[in-house]
Copies of this chain bind each other. A is one copy, B any other.
């Protein structure tokens, strides 16, 4: 396996009113807002067949996360005992990939409106999959 073989490419990015990690909801169902995903034009053919009303899983690259933490206080609450990151949904983990189950509200050109999405403004999007 070549060293660069696990290199992700950004296929889009989040446009959201959320800009502050400390105050953002930790999960979509905790009051996260609607957001836009703006896709790169050269991958738009890959969205053929995805439409409003679909439930999809958005995969993001949580670019503001700490990658060298292996234990965290769940939900950033110091009163919670330290726990291995793989037993939590903390953004801080060796590979900070976020999973977000959302509903597609609308598609306008290269822009897709989704809800709810707790990812911060500017977060890279790396994949989209249908909910099975």
Q: Which residues of B contact A86 (CB under 8 A)?
A: 46-47, 50, 56, 127-129
Query: Do A95 and B49 have beta carbons less than 8 Å apart?
Result: no
Can you tell how many copies of this chain the complex includes? 2
Contact A87 B6, CB 8 Å, known A1-B63, A95-B127: no
A11's contact among B9, B27, B94, B124, by CB below 8 Å, is which?
B94
Query: Do B94 and A97 have beta carbons less than 8 Å apart?
Result: no
Query: Do A129 and B89 have beta carbons less than 8 Å apart?
Result: yes
Contact A46 B94, CB 8 Å, known A6-B9, A7-B4, A7-B8: yes
Say if the beta carbon of A19 comes within 8 Å of chain B. Answer: no
Q: Which residues of B contact A132 (CB under 8 A)?
A: 27, 89
